[in-house]
Amino acid sequence: MGTISLSDYEDVRIWAPWGHIAGRWYGNRSERPILAIHGWLDNLGTFDRLIPLLPDYLGVLCIDLPGHGCSARLPAGMHYSTAEFILIITRVMKEYKWPKVSLMGHSLGGVLCYIYTALAPHTVDLVISLDIILSPLEAPEALDYLAYFLDKRLVEAERIEEAAMREPPSYTLAQLRSALSEGSNKSVPPELAQHLLPRSVARSQMYPEKYYVSRDGRTKCHNVLLINAGLAAEMARRIKKNPYLVIKGTESSYISSNDDELINILRNQNAHFEYHEVPGTHHVHLVSPALCARHIVPFLRHHRPPIVSSWTPDGEVHRLRSREHRLAQENFYARRLSTL
């Protein structure tokens, strides 16, 4: 058995009342995959460097959250929220009729995995959380955050109206790579921004050599689910038996002493809980994918080992045919990536 090929995928569109959820299903498509969820303002390209290191008897379905990447935006007048993002997990499960789900999330995606697992632990068979456990807990500083975004939401609503009449400001790819890196507090180096840009920008019609940001600006000020320390701890207590892997980047502060109580609860009551630190930034899976894979692959092989159909000759033929078909098929997103 080998690893997943980044060129072996199927683009998917999952129906939603406001449009669709876009995704890419990598690797084995005959079995239930890992559902991978990106972080705030990112898209499924964040997993580009990790996917090719994962075992090919499994598949990975990476999705763009609403308003991100190539997923549909919410209607005008609506706002994004953590609570609504959590429902995306159940929507995907319903679409594919999965009784259980395997979750992998980075940053906001990891928070969604944590909350969903606490709410419905009987439907989760494993969780991989990349440089996050839970977002900052309820604190007085949260009021400043909420106050700032009161006006910010109105500004973004006005920008949407303007964008309907004229094209947004456009930039060179070098400028966008630099801006993305700066916007992530240099968690994403400029040279790795290419993995996120293809699904975050569109070519300018006015200046063909430039691009503009196509992500919905309202995602920058989504409604955060404020959770106090007591509720966060109770959530951890509900995650008793679910295999749970946390990987922290050593250069990141997204997991800190504030999470000690949650880590202790998970570690003391859950025999399948793992916590590892590897060199890297908040985007540790993008910056240090091989180091992350050293922990992720054994975790997957232990908690989701290959079934017979995944490695029999018939199963291998199915994967090879599927890969051949995928490589032969022209794909819009792949063409766009090659132009950047």
Residues marked active site are found at: 107
| Beta-carbon contacts of residue 268 (< 8 Å; ≥ 6 apart) | none
DSSP state of 56: T
Rounded to 5 degrees, what are φ and ψ at 246?
-115, 130
Q: CA angle at residue 145 from 142 to 148, to 5 degrees? A: 150
Helix (H, G, I), strand (E, B) or coil at 188: coil
CA distance linking residue 215 with residue 4, whole number of Å: 28
In 56-168, the DSSP E strands lie at 59-63, 101-106, 124-130
Tokens of 132: 């996050």
β-pairing, 211-213 vs 201-203, is: antiparallel
- For the chain, the residue count is 340
